[in-house]
Structure 1
Amino acid sequence: MSMKATFADFSVDPARLSNAVVTHDRAEFGGSHLTLNAGGTVTLDFEVADPEDIPEATLTVTALVSRLGSAPGHAPIDVLLQGESLAEDLTVPGGGDLPQDNVFAVPALLLKPGTNTLEIRASAEARSMLHLYRITLDSIDERGRSERGLAAQAARNSVFAFRTELRAAHAASATPWEAAPRLVFHLDRDEHSLPAQLGWRGEDGAESAISFQSNMSDFHGCHRSADGTAYEYRGRLTGDWAFPEGIEETSASGLHRFRTEEGYGGDWHSSHELRLLVDDGGAAVERVTWRDQRGNSGVAMLQAVSGEAGTTDVRVTDVEASDEFAQGGETADNLLTGSRTKWLVHDDTAQLHFTLARSAVVTSYTLMSANDCPDRDPRDWTLDGSHDGRTWTRVDSRAEETFSGRFETREFRLRAPAPGYRYYRLDITDNSGADETQLARVRFVEGPTGRAFTGYYQRYNEGPIGYRGTPVPTPAPVPAPLAIPAPLLAADLEAAVQSLTDTAQTLAALATRLRES
């Protein structure tokens, strides 16, 4: 190969480079580009193995000239290779509206074996700034190779986190933005391309649509809350990682992994795995749409399906009670422990509010009766779920329930899986006759359900095709080894040795008596 993919991407700091060493003068990183002041220069050194194999090269310089108020800007550039001019006093077209691709033919005779030097100079007479976004250089026989390499390198990090803000739609420009929950997302179907646009709808009816800067530094879009209020929506990148980093603390039912198929030619054909996560701090998503920077686009509409056998307790991070017997230590926090302590309230009705560690498709819940007084057991109650802790939906209702013993655990299955709620409210409307109500423990169970999707996919410049997916089976968890503190383990081993020693002595004495008899 006579020439490697050669590029410098200045949309991030430090720049993404391939077969290139970059230096600059009178220039600084501008958030999504390199800003050159008047007289500023950028120098790129790159290697060529054998220029005789290159009939001609294609140089692309993507740049923008900042405007002078309402007038077009003025920042001509010179482009030189090995000190020889490729362009003099070139005015980048567009006048500050959008970055422009400026393409130059590089004669083979200007290339040499070893290190070659490309220089871009902003005119000393410039009256506005030159914003330099990227440089690519390819043999004419392999045009586009550097662009593909740049896209693949940029897409290595596919988990993104944004600090977000909201402002009421149609508000005055001076209206301040208000902080909103963090957005974390990951969308990967093994095509090594960054997203350009993303839209999603939550199970509570809230929806968002956003568009990204090419370097993913920020986004702008719109959001409509579950109550129908419309907002402007924007975000600033706070972190990006290579999968699976960055997703550990997300909620919204976590990461979805799908085995996918594409429908064309009258049949379904296996396709790449799709990994999907959108966590905006609200309800779990039920629909996601996207378009990537190559122009490919897709839609996935999610629905719950029966999964493999097995259930999982969902961790509860907080519980609040309408009342509790704090003086006796019988508080609502006891409901979350594995011990047989209890919660007690001096009333025959009560409410308990639970916050789960994440949104989850709950299929059942369990209540454990307390240590005494069966007439304090709950008898009638309702269970409501919520995405935001304010708007509640009934998921279960019980009447005339009884417990047959103390510390008995009863499981109550929901008629339909709760759709990814994070907040639950247990409203005890009557007990079994006492003036107090009590429970020992409450658990929420995520049942054997998963998510499938149906939708479509459309590659750039092609027609849409069917697209569907089923959950990737999750391996059964490997039981953790029993954790025993070293001193206790040593004591147990010593006790075992002593027991074996005593047994051996007893057997030896028995054998001696048998020989003497």
Structure 2
Amino acid sequence: MQPTFADFSVTPARVSNCGATYEACHAASSHLAMSAGARVALDFEVDAGKQIGEATLKVTALVSKLGRSPGYAPVDLVVNQHVLARGLTVPGGGDLPQDNVFAVPGRLLRPGTNTLEIRTADDARSMLWLYRVTLDSVYERGRSERAMAAEAARDTVFAYTTERREPFTSSWTSGPRLLFHVDRGEQSLPAQLGWRGVDGAESAISFQSNMSDFHGHHRAADGTLAEFRGRISGRWAFPEGTEDTHVHRFGTEEGWGGDWHSSDELRLLVDDGSGPVERVTWRDQRGNSGVAGLRTGAGAPSDVTADATVVDVSDEYTAAGEIADHLLHASREKWLAGDAQAWVEFGFERPVALTSYTLTSADDFPQRDPRDWLLLGSTDGVRWTQLDSRSGEGFTERFEARAFRIGGTAAAPFTRYRLDITGNGGADEIQLSGVRFTGIGPVDFSGYYQRYDEGPIGYRGAALNVPESSADSAVEAERAAEAARLAEEAEQAARLAEELDRAARSLAEAARSMGRMAAWVRGR
């Protein structure tokens, strides 16, 4: 029997080996709400020739409250018109869905299409909140739940609207959006998440199993403590949802047996609107946990110009040797562009977070000096983030070096930077003698990882230089692989149907032959 599940905690519902139809129901943020007299029908397939002695049905549901009472919404479960349970009272009144497990006798199942119905009573006075339904052969118990968890774990970028309130008060106030992505490639959703920002603020939260909500606490940089909660507002497969953010991507190693061993890539993003983080802790729904303490370079900004190269330029005066490469060298040679607007792109092998930059005027013609410009950052050379904007600037001397600080303390690391000069002192050319960069070098981390029911091991990683386009390609490859798998399954099903059809024709021919033989025997 194929993994059979319907996951109503997302919209539209995720289903496998079944189709779902509803009556008197509506989709809520984390469940399917069934009113009085409602019906959910799941049509699922049992392989021809498959003998199932017993199946395990799990219905995860909760009855909504009636004021202060637990609520009332009895349920009937029906398999192929046979009543499996009548007047079942699912626990209600709480905030957690309940797992209700039933044995389905094999005699109720048949090869081909079967129908499971979940019906609420006509006299139900509150709603039945239906979260998930799974069905497996008793000998493959849990298979559908694992398949459902693997399917859900493909969407690992989460966004939540948040609220905070002071302890022992009743009023909630809106907070900034929380966006996060923690993925070691183990196809398991987070159960708990904690983080500390570089400003000293800390948060720790725990999630509903279907990721619809979280609850926890937040301590601000000044020590103010608040209760913290959120409701999901978006969920995507990486890299969707991470546009205009920086995802830390690490090549990792695990320490055990007295040595370090290569392990899978770790992707980390926690953005609560307050700036970069310096520590992330997590525990997933399988019980695995980890800690990553992030370190950037030597911990303080330094001159990183030596790591930069010129990767592109709008124009340069190559005939006179006045080229953009001179900008990164400590000399009095210059770059000259034959336009009143010009740009230069610089690249770093690994991501660098710039904190400031310095421009040095050239040897002559002050009218060629830049006055207006933008500094932009990118990880792929296609999508750019504005980091600084200047207007009406000037140089009072030749070979004057002026430093410009990049606003804010939370500049994200990039591998590409673009100086886009949009205005000068009135000449038809742009010139500069030097550009220098100050910033924080590539990020790495140190911590530990602990698999469920095992001891902790060392865990460390260094930043990878992975363009966003590569991530997009990885997602497309994954989707292509999934499409190929589905196509192969469809082809196998077609071959099985053809074989069954041939078998049926052969049996029919045999029956006709036996009929002719019987007529011959009767005639003698």
Select 2:167's aligned residue among 167, 170, 174: 170
Aligned pairs (5 A) from 1:283-322? 283-305=275-297, 310-311=307-308
Given candidates 108, 111, 126, the residue that maps to 2:109 is 111
**Which 5+ residue runs of structure 2 have no aligned equivalent?**
299-303, 311-336, 342-350, 367-394, 413-431, 471-524
The list of structure 1 runs, each at least 4 consecutive aligned residues, that deviate by more than 6 angstroms after superposition, is 306-309, 338-341, 370-374, 440-444, 475-478
Pick aligned residue for 1:217 from 212, 218, 228: 212
1:240 Cα deviation from its structure 2 partner: 2.2
What are the Cα deviations for residues 13-70 of structure 1, in whole angstroms up to 9, with x where unaligned?
2111111111111121222111111221111000111363423211101111223333
Q: Which residue of 1 aligns with 2:331?
A: none
Cα 1:261–1:360 shift into 2, 3 Å: closer
Q: Is the 8 A contact 2:305 2:438 kept in 1?
A: no
CA contact (8 A) 1:264 1:465 kept: yes
* Counterpart among 230, 246, 255 of residue 247 in structure 2: 255
Q: Do 2:353 and 2:411's aligned partners in 1 also have CA atoms closer than 8 Å?
A: no
Deviation at 1:96? 3.9
Partner of 1:276 in structure 2? 268
CA separation in 1, counterparts of 2:213 and 2:435? 40
Shift of 1:224: 1.8
Q: CA deviation at 1:95?
A: 5.0
**What is the root-mean-square deviation in Å for CA atoms of aligned residues?**
3.7
1:79 Cα shift?
Answer: 0.9
What CA distance in whole angstroms lies between the structure 1 residues aligned with 2:177 and 2:468?
A: 31
Partners of 1:223 and 1:232 lie apart in 2 by 6
In 1: Cα distance, 2:305 partner to 2:435 partner? 21
Return closer, same or farther for 1:48/1:457 CA change in 2, 3 Å cut-off: same
Counterpart Cα distance in 1 of 2:82 and 2:157: 43
1:242 Cα shift? 1.5
Partner deviation per Cα, 1:56-97 (whole Å, 9 max, x = no partner): 211101111223333332222111110112111112246545
Count the aligned residue pairs.
382
The TM-score with structure 2 as length reference comes to 0.65
Once the two structures are superposed, what CA deviation does each residue of 1:357-390 show, in whole Å capped at 9, x if it has no partner? xx9733663143599999xxxxxxxxxxxxxxxx
Deviation at 1:264, TM superposition (A): 2.8
Q: Using the alignment, how far apart are the partners of 2:467 and 2:30 within structure 1?
A: 42
Do the aligned partners of 1:162 and 1:237 also contact (CA within 8 Å) in 2? yes
Counterpart-to-counterpart distance in 1, 2:469 and 2:236: 25
Structure 1 or 2: larger helix share?
2
Structure 1: how far apart are the matches of 2:187 and 2:252? 17
User: Residues 274 and 285 from structure 1, CA distance in 2 versus in 1: closer, same or farther, beyond 3 angstroms?
Assistant: same
Instruction: Please say if residues 65 and 130 of structure 1, whose CA atoms lie closer than 8 Å, have aligned partners that are also in contact.
Output: yes
Residue 443 of structure 1 deviates from its aligned partner by 7.3
- The Cα of 1:446 is off from its aligned counterpart by 5.5
Counterparts of 1:32-431 in structure 2 under 5 Å? 32-50=30-48, 52-93=50-91, 96=94, 98-167=96-165, 169-170=166-167, 172-173=169-170, 175-178=171-174, 180-250=175-245, 254-305=246-297, 310-311=307-308, 361-362=353-354, 365-369=357-361, 406-409=398-401, 421-422=410-411
SS in 2 for 1:270: strand
Q: 5+ unaligned residues in a row in structure 1: which ranges?
A: 314-337, 342-358, 375-402, 424-439, 479-517
Aligned counterparts of 1:420 and 1:18: Cα–Cα separation in 2: 47
The amino acid across from 2:169 in the alignment is: A
Cα separation, 2, equivalents of 1:476 and 1:113: 47
Residues 362 and 444 of structure 1 are in contact (CA less than 8 Å); yes or no, is this contact kept in structure 2? no
CA shift digits 1:193-222 (9 cap, x unpaired):
222221111111111122233333333332
Question: AA paired with 2:445?
Answer: F
Contact 1:311 1:448 in 2 (8 A): no
Is the 1:360–1:446 contact (alpha carbons within 8 Å) kept by the matching residues of 2? no
* Alpha-carbon distance change, 309 to 278 in structure 1, aligned in 2, over 3 angstroms: farther
Aligned partner letter, 1:8: A
The 3 A distance-change label for structure 1 pair 45 and 24 is: same
Alpha-carbon distance in 1 for matches of 2:29, 2:95: 17
Which residue, out of 450, 460, 464, partners 1:458? 450
Task: Check the 8 A contact 2:291/2:448 in 1, yes or no.
Answer: yes
- When the two structures are superposed, what TM-score results if normalisation uses the length of structure 1? 0.66
Q: In the superposition, relative to structure 1, how do residues 265 and 94 fare at CA in structure 2: closer, same or farther (>3 Å)?
A: farther
The structure-2 alpha-carbon separation of the partners of 1:35 and 1:260, relative to structure 1 and needing over 3 Å to count, comes to same
Counterparts of 2:433 and 2:284 in 1: how far apart (Å)?
Answer: 48
